[in-house]
Structure formats: C-alpha cells, structure tokens
Structure 1
Amino acid sequence: MVLDNRVTCQIPMLYLAPSRYGGLFTSTVVSGFIGATRLTPRLNNTAIPDEHDNEASPFTCYVPFLGSVTKDHRIALCQLPEFDNTGPGGLISEFPSLTNLTDYITGVNGSQHLGTAYIVLNVELGDDQLPEGDNLGSVSSYERGIWQDLEYKDVNLTLSISLCYAAFTTANLPVRMSSPKNRTEPSPKYNSTNQTYRFDDIRALYGQERDKSNMARGLLDLTPIRASWLAQSDELPINDPWIRGLANLGSYHHYALDMEGNIPASLWQSWCLEVNSPNIICPDPMHLRLFQEILNTGGSLAFALQSLISSLASINYYDKLALLDESEKVQQAYFMTSNAPVRHAGFIAVAAVMVFHMLMVIICLATFLAGTKWSILGNTWCSVAQLVASATIDFWDKAANGMPDRSVRELLKADGRNRARVGVSEDDYGAVGLVEK
C-alpha cells in the first residue's frame, strides 16, 4: 500500500459571518464561506472565483485560544465538510490517470477522489480570555504569505487563516523496496535536562532536510514494478481511503462515509483546553510536539501537516498490518527441544579424536615419503621386459631388482652405454628386439 501525503497551502478567499464567542470565553466561532485563490498542480479548484469548480464552501469552526505553558503556535485545524456530494476541493491523487476520469470516481456517491481540505486557524495575538460579550466586533483583513490576517481591534485578537489541500489517499500498488542497510522506525528522543522530547530523526525521515539521501533519512528506496506509479482501477479505494477515514475530523454522532468537518483539532497543548472544550479534538501530545517542532525549526505549514498525515497513516498501517499482509498458514510452538552445552567432556573427547587422527595421518605420510623410491620407468617394466635381446640380458639381471633411476644411470655410465640410443626393430636373425642405433 502506497500513501500520497502531498499538502499545499494558500491564502484563502473568505466571506465571513460575524464571529462570536464559543463558550466560557476560551474560544471563538468563525463561520462563513471559504475558497481557493491559487491554482496549484492537481488541485481541482480553479484560480477564477466565479468558476463553478471553485464554489466557496461553508464552514463553522471553533478557534481555541487558551494560554499554554509552552510558547506554542496556537493553531487549530478544521476540516471542511461535504454537502450533497459536493466537496470543498482537494488534491487529486498521483495514482489515477487524469485522462480517464472513471479511474477516480467512487462507487458510493459519485464524487471524485479529490482528497480533502483543511482550514488552519492561528491565534497570532490574543489574551487567554476574552472580555464578556457575544460578538468580536469589527475586523480588518490583511494578506501575509499563505495567511489571511484578521485583526479584531475591539478585543485585541489577531486571527490568521490559511487554506490547505491534501491528497491523503492510498493505492495498492506493486512496488520494489530496497536498502543498502537495515533500518528501523525512528522514535522521539527524551532530553532529561529540560524534560522535553526531540523529533530530529523523525523530521529527517519525513524530509525536512531535503539534502539528505534516502539512506541517511532511514527510508527504503521504492520503485514501481510497472513502468509508472499509475494505479489500475481495482488498486484504488472505492470510497474514502480507510486510513483517511480514521483521521477525518468528523462528528462523533454521525457514521456517514464522507467527511463531516466542522470539529476542529487543537494542534497545541493545553491542559485547560482538554478539560473545558468538549467540542474541540485534542490529539495525542506527541503529534502536537512534532507539529510544533517542525514549525519552530523553520518547516512550512504544508510540511507540518504532511508529517502528521504520514505519522497517522503509519500508526494505522501497523494497527492493520495483519489484515494488509497476505495470509499464510503458520505453525506456533510454545516449547522447542534443543541441545545446550552443560559440560566440556564431549567437546574434549571429539577434539582429542581429531588431534589423534591428524597425528596418525602425518606419521603415515612421513613414513611413506621416507621409505619409498620413485622410478621414471614406473609401470613400463612389464613392457620393457618383453623386449629382451642378447645384448641386454646382463643389464636386466642387474636392473630388474627395482633399482632407482640414479643407479640405472650410473650402471649405464660404467658400461659406456649412457649415450647409447636403442629402438625396437628386427635384428640380424629376424627377431624383434631392442637394437642399438
């Protein structure tokens, strides 16, 4: 299973309704309509506000602003909802082909696999508790990068809003994974001095340091087995990917397949917020610390959200690993018989036999080499003996006792025959034998 975790963020087009308090003067409710203002790759919205594809989506989001013991960015994440099978837009996955729309049409409600959209609300300036009242008063708007700053001068509150689109989808693709060395999943490192966690290895794994290789980041190299990453129709999810479904910020009271939205998640840590704000989701503190550390170390908002998606997908994948792996028959044994060395007697006995065997081999070899002689005549004695002539009878009487080559040469030299050349031919009497040439 391959994850498409791309995220893009841009300054939004806003049509705001009057903002009001969200209760206990610890949060405010921002509502209205929001749409895209930029055309980015694979974003289904257009850059022209009047186009139907860029129809503004309604939203109503709580914005918590309770203080925190740490200097965190007071950011809330609000997922845009779907109404009547009309989504707020999103990134089209890299897996389907854009030339064949049927590849990414769902089988449930006819909507396209366009990812999802999030409103990011950041409290840039504001007290922990607003003054009493039921309205935030007048607002001034300013553009700043990917943020739309809303300044509520009457209550000393500055709220920044950005619009982010995510693909957040998966495909069951055949891939080839490889790595030159073993790798393990990184984990946060605890600093006992200041009692905080550091996420350097995790940030590197997700790609915040772009100059690092896959091996330095701890990643496997993935290559498609086919010619491209495009998925077949049966390899795409028929509806919202189940991993995204587990991360949708939907209402707890609905069980629809589409995303619900309008229930924000607070991406900064505050104990009071968890206690006093039942309408706000408080994620696990480790996810909050990872998100905040990415922003505090220069990471972009899009990369921080992308890292959260990767982390959530990884957790859910391992939770469902037994279902995703191909099932095979397994055998389970609680006890296995094995031999364990207790004493060294057996080892000593085996070693002694091996040493004795090697000594006997060495002694036999030395005795053989010392007591044997080698002759170049070798096995030719039988053939030579059949070629006896009258001139060689005396020689054979002396040499037939198996004398070595050196003795044979000395005997021939003593008789003056060391340079004689003989051959097999017929002699003067018609017999075949050795004849001196």
Structure 2
Amino acid sequence: MEHNNQRGSVSYKAVSSSERPRKLPLTKRPGLRSIGTWPTITLALSTVVLVSAIVFLAIFWQAAFSILQGRNVARFWMQIIQSGQSAITITITSAFIRTAISLQAGVATSMLSSIIVERAGISLWKLPMLSMIRSISVGPQTLAWPLLRRPFRKTPVLHLCIVLMMLVITIVAQFTSTILLSDFATETVVLPQNTTTVTIGFSDDTPDYVFSNGGINYWNTAPSVFPRFAEYGEPVETTEGVADTGLSLRAFIPLANSSTRSSLRSYSGPATVLDARVVCVRPILTDVLLRHPDDGDAEHIRFISGTVASGVQYSTLDTFSPGAIRHFNCTIITPKLNRGGIPVWYASLCQSDYVAKIATNPLSDTTTGTYLVFNTTGLPDPLGWQGYLSNWTVSNSGAWTTMEGVAGDFAQIISASLCFSNSLSGYQGSNLDNYNVEYSSNSDFTEPPLEFRLYSLDYQPVADRIVDIFCGSECSSKTLNERGILVMKQQSNWTDSLTNGTFSPSINEASSLGSNMGQGFYWRQPLYEGSNASLIISIDNVGINSGHVFIFSTILRRTGNPALGLQYLFTTIAQMAYYERKPYYDIEATAETVLSESLLVPRRWTGFIVVAALASVHLLLVVGIITAFLATTKVSLLGNSWMAVAQVLSQDMTDNLLDRASQMSDEEVREVLRSSGRDGVVRLPGPRMIGTSES
C-alpha cells in the first residue's frame, strides 16, 4: 500500500517483510569515532571541570585552616573568607561538580547500554529501549530499572553494580553543597595587618570649650562598658606591711568602637599610657579623734582627724621617711541600720599631703599622689549619737592598721592604709602621655557592661568579669589575655618612645583629665580648720556611682588589698574621661592594627573528603566504562539514533511484531514474545537468541 504526503513531495509505502532489502553486514568502527564528537568533548571538558573543582576546594580548605592557625595565605583566599563569600563560593563550585558528574554519567550510561546489548545481552522486549539509550544522554536510573527487573540469575551482576554505583553517586552529587557546607562553622579569624588612622588627643590650639568636661562627673557616672586596655607589668616581692601592684603601665586603645576594641589582636602606634601603679603601706595613726558633724546634716557622716606616719620602710618609695608625721582631717561614713546585707564596704578615700614618690616609674615627669583609705565596720551608730571616740585599740594586718573604739554601747572599727599613686596625683594632675607602643592579645574579649540587678540589689554576675580584669593574680590564675588585657611590649627606654611634637596631648588636656578625675572629692569643715578632700566610697553617697562602689568593695573583700581597689578606680575614671573626649580629638596618627572577625570557614575535612572520594570513584567508573566500551563493543555509535533503531530490526526476531507493536504496550509485547517463545536473552549484532526464556 502506498501513501502520499499531501503537504510535501515525500511519499512512502508499506512493504511486506519479503520485500525488505537485505541488511548490510555490520562492521566495527574506530574507537574514538564510536564515542562521537560531542560525547568526547563532554567527557573531556567535564573531567577538567570536575578535577579543577576538587583541587580548588582542597586549596580553599587548606587556606582556611592556615588562616585559623594564624599563618599567611594568598590574598585571594583571604578575600573570599573575609568578604563573607565562602558559602556562595561553595555553592557555585558544587554546581560545577554536580553538572560535570551528571554529564559524564549520561555518556557512561550510553556506553554501558552498548556493552550490555552487545556483550551481556538483554531480553528482546527490553532491547529497543537499551538500544535507544545509546543514542541519547540519560541518567543511570534509566538503565538500572531494566536490569533490576530481570531475574537475578539472568542479570549481569558486574554491570548492575556499576549502574547502581553510578546511580548512587549521581544522587549524592545533588547534595554536594550541603555536604561541603557541613564542614563550615562560624570561627574567629585573625585578619591581615591593616594601617589605620587614629586620633590620640587635642592639639595645642584646640579651644578650651572642646575638651572641657561639659559638667560630667565621672565618679558618679558608671561606664556603659569597661574598655579593654593594654598593660606592661613587673611583679614585686611581698613585703610585710605593704600592698604593691607592681609596675603597671596601662595603655588605652585609641579606637572608639567597643566591638573593634573587643576584636583587637595587635596594635603598633601611638597610644595614651597611664602609670597605674599603686603602693599602700601600713600607717601609724596617732591622736585619732572621731567626731559627729556639728551641723547634723548627714546622720552617718563622721570626721576623723589625727596624725599619720608610715609604719614600714619600703625602697620603692623615694623621699619617704618612716616616722615623718602629717596631720589629716578626713570625712568618713559609718554603717547604717537595716542595710539588708548589701555586700559593700563603708570606705573613704582622703587626699593627704604626705610627700613621697614611686621611684621605679619609667615614664617621664610623673608625680605621686598620697591618700588615706579608710574602711569602717562594726555596729551602726546609735540614733542621735553626738559624741566622739578618742580611745582606740590598735592592731595590724597586711597594709592595714585597724583601730577599735568603744563608748558605752557604741563600738566602731576603722581600718586605714596609706597609699601612693601615680595615676591621680593631686586635684589638678594625672600622669597621662602618648607613647609609641606595641601590644597584642591571642584572643578576643567582649567588653563587659555594668548591669544592676534590681531584684538582688547587686551587679552580679557581670561584676565578676570586671573584678577579674582588675583583681589580677590575687583573685584568679588567669593570664592577662584571659582577663581581656592586651600584653604591652616592654620598651628599652620609655622616654625615647614618647611621641614627638604634635602627637603629645596638650597640657590643657592632661589638666582637664586630672580635674575631672578629682570631681568626686569634696571638703567638709569640722570643728577646726584644715580638712582634707575626701571621697566617700559608699552606696549612701550620691557623689559616687554605686557600680564603682560595688566593684571597689568586691576587690577589697576578696583580696584585702587597697592598692588593687584604688588601681581599679583610677584606671576606670581615666578611661571614662579619655573615651568621652575621644570623638573630639583632632591629632591624627597612623597605627598598624590586626583585628579578628567571626567568619564562616571550613572547620573540618569530613565533607570535603566525602565529596573528593565521590568524585574519585566516579572518575574511576567512567574511565573503566570507557575502556570496556572501546575494547568490547563493535557496532555501537553513541549519539546516533538511526543506528540504534536499525540494529534492533531483525528479520528473524521482529518479523510481524513491528506491525502489531505500534499499538501495544511493552508488557503486551512481552506477552506476545513469551507466548511465541522469543522472550529469551538476545544481543547485538543480530539480534540473535543467546539464552532461554526469562520467566
């Protein structure tokens, strides 16, 4: 029968099987030609992409671990990590890996189909599909299903295992990005050294109103956070009757942002340095008189007067003569009733005119201030008490001299220590200057805030971190870095490190800092003239913030060391004044800084090893399949559909079946073949029967 195509010139007619021309003999094609141009290009390019992606990931992983270990790496890798592009880099690389594996799996599946239909054989009813797979690129799942539907004893086990392995690899490859990112974690990464512009003080021509305190009293104001600082210190030998912090030079960090200071790992450049050493000695107190104020305006304010002399000889203090006597007339506070057990000391800080100088100070032109520290304990004053105490029982402990006085039912215990400090030396002075310094830390440290807990009336637990910073080795075994303090490098000559010219803060700035640091002190007139400026360190005094009182009291309770308590106060007040002015500083300088940053980086090798192993097994399978294809197949041409169709047509196997199969399902064709005894295993070329029926 002949059919004409009315829309064109093509015509065809159906012919009987007896009229079909005789097929030409099948001949083997050259190896590369049997693979085809596009499959060859696909295999070559995808292999390059896959290998390159794995090598790229290996270098990236190694670079990330080098960065975490503090080693230098190429700027390219650092930029990827520092810019936060690690995740997107892995996602893109994973897409290349998935694509390469999928493309190679498609070509390898076509080759496996050729090997099966030519060498292992397949049932006749599955032959058309496997033959067509040779001409198109499909996944291994297309080939796995026909093989799995064969009885196990008829299935080529090696081919089935290869197909299943490729199927598993192709599926797992879809999760490459997830597998790789499972190695990632947010880690603290130390960034490369960077040149930074910092401001370090006021120039000499800065108007006075710019660096004035603006009415701020740093004693009755708590800092929002306790800024980090750097320290160079030298320990001292323990001496009976002396509490000495040892040499303690503290450099402020000229970075205004708290988070930047928290992540600072090293700094090299100019910085303001404070001599924070405090030395306290046991005093000799004589003619001590405790009085109630005549005006009665402060129920628990008391005046204490007498003479003071040092009770010990200490070589660190110059122009210090044991037995030299100075008068004092100070203001203190006594305990109140119903305080509810709030853990603070009733302390006072009283300026003295006792003359001495800390001899081992390496900084230039520093002066020493002298203070009497009082701590009052014992029973609260009786209400309406208007008397005085002058008879005392004296005892000594450490750097303290303790006096106990009793008058009827009233008993009062007062401890005193004579202290010397270069931090705050008198009402108008503080020892601050700019030096070229270097300091570093091996860890970050979040600057602790001071948070008051109303329900418990204290500042715990944040206060413990603050106390650790200032309490030193007497409170814990932590290192400077563990306490959040950067370690400052020792200078061979600190005077030579003093910054030149415009780098030095003006005299006005130093005076202003000192003036502000002394704001909390005040004078009270007792029965006779000549009172000393005093600061009542108590929650009952509105002149000092309760946070300062709590930290100071906690340090004294834990250590009994007045030098550490004063060192905390002087350092904190100086820092508050420094950073409050920091936005207005107009002297600029350059410094080298190294910061850390929390970044997403590879933290282990597990995910990478899984992906690398997956790619390696895949490439081995592909190479093996290519080798087997070239060695064992004869008549397969990948990517050629007419060849795939024509080779299936066999006069002895498909006669009369093709005419009926155009309207039949595969299962119906299978039943026809089974009923006619032609459902055995066949293979190309032919096809010819090579086995028995598959039932």
Report whether the alignment pairs 1:126 with 2:379: yes
Which of 543, 554, 560 is the matching residue for 1:293? 554
Aligned partner letter, 1:167: N
Change (3 A) 1:190 1:215: same
Quick one: distance in 1 between partners of 2:585 and 2:489? 20
SS in 2 for 1:128: coil
Report whether the alignment pairs 1:79 with 2:351: yes
SS in 2 for 1:124: strand
Change (3 A) 1:227 1:17: closer
Which of 254, 257, 262 is the matching residue for 2:532? 262
Which of 177, 180, 194 is the matching residue for 2:439? 177
SS in 1 for 2:419: strand
8 Å contact kept, 2:287–2:390: no
Quick one: distance in 2 between partners of 1:138 and 1:48? 24
8 Å contact kept, 1:10–1:36: yes
Change (3 A) 1:233 1:79: farther
Quick one: distance in 2 between partners of 1:261 and 1:178? 45
Quick one: distance in 2 between partners of 1:187 and 1:33? 41
Report whether the alignment pairs 1:156 with 2:411: yes
Q: CA offsets, 1:241-288, max 9 Å, x none? A: 6433322255489xxxxxx97232222212xx54xxxxxxx3111111
1:318 shift after superposition: 0.3
Quick one: distance in 2 between partners of 1:160 and 1:185? 34
TM-score (norm 2): 0.37
Change (3 A) 1:217 1:37: same
Aligned partner letter, 1:245: S
SS in 1 for 2:318: coil
SS in 1 for 2:539: coil
Q: Which has the higher helix share?
A: 2
1:59 shift after superposition: 1.6
Moved more, 287-296 or 183-192: 183-192
Aligned partner letter, 2:513: I
Change (3 A) 1:261 1:237: farther
Aligned partner letter, 1:153: V
1:391 corresponds in structure 2 to none
8 Å contact kept, 2:284–2:309: yes
Map 1:243-392; keep pairs closer than 5 Å: 243-248=513-518, 250-251=521-522, 262-270=532-540, 274=542, 282-298=543-559, 300-324=561-585, 326-327=587-588
2:282 corresponds in structure 1 to 11
Aligned partner letter, 2:277: R
2:325 corresponds in structure 1 to 56
Which of 485, 488, 498 is the matching residue for 1:219? 485
1:19 shift after superposition: 3.2
2:96 corresponds in structure 1 to none
1:429 corresponds in structure 2 to none
Quick one: distance in 2 between partners of 1:211 and 1:325? 40
1:392 corresponds in structure 2 to none
8 Å contact kept, 1:10–1:37: yes
Q: CA offsets, 1:201-253, max 9 Å, x none? A: 212222434532232122223225x5333465976986976433322255489
8 Å contact kept, 1:118–1:163: yes
Quick one: distance in 1 between partners of 2:288 and 2:452? 44
1:186 corresponds in structure 2 to 448
Report whether the alignment pairs 1:27 with 2:282: no
Which of 157, 165, 189 is the matching residue for 2:420? 165
TM-score (norm 1): 0.57
Moved more, 230-239 or 151-160: 230-239
Quick one: distance in 2 between partners of 1:217 and 1:32? 40
Higher relative contact order (CA 8 A, sep 6+): 2
Quick one: distance in 2 between partners of 1:32 and 1:137? 10
SS in 2 for 1:38: coil
Q: CA offsets, 1:75-129, max 9 Å, x none? A: 1111224xxxxx5334357234xxxxxx53xxxxxxxx43211111111213234
Percent identity, aligned pairs only?
21
8 Å contact kept, 1:80–1:261: no
2:493 corresponds in structure 1 to 228
8 Å contact kept, 1:45–1:89: yes
8 Å contact kept, 1:35–1:56: yes
SS in 2 for 1:217: coil
SS in 1 for 2:381: coil
Change (3 A) 1:4 1:159: same
1:163 shift after superposition: 1.0
Change (3 A) 1:133 1:194: closer
Quick one: distance in 1 between partners of 2:571 and 2:467? 11
Quick one: distance in 2 between partners of 1:207 and 1:71? 17
Q: CA offsets, 1:126-172, max 9 Å, x none? A: 32346544432433323233222222221422222211111112232
Instruction: Give the number of aligned pairs.
Output: 288
- Structure 2 gaps of 5+ residues are 1-271, 424-430, 525-529, 590-695
Report whether the alignment pairs 1:145 with 2:398: yes
8 Å contact kept, 1:89–1:114: no
Change (3 A) 1:246 1:43: farther
SS in 2 for 1:143: strand
- Structure 1 gaps of 5+ residues are 50-54, 82-86, 97-102, 105-112, 254-259, 275-281, 329-437
Change (3 A) 1:237 1:146: farther
Quick one: distance in 2 between partners of 1:3 and 1:182? 23
Quick one: distance in 2 between partners of 1:309 and 1:60? 22
Change (3 A) 1:286 1:133: closer
1:88 corresponds in structure 2 to 355
1:358 corresponds in structure 2 to none
8 Å contact kept, 1:119–1:164: yes
Quick one: distance in 2 between partners of 1:237 and 1:41? 33
Q: CA offsets, 1:272-330, max 9 Å, x none? A: x54xxxxxxx31111111112222333622111111111111111101213556348xx
Quick one: distance in 1 between partners of 2:477 and 2:570? 22
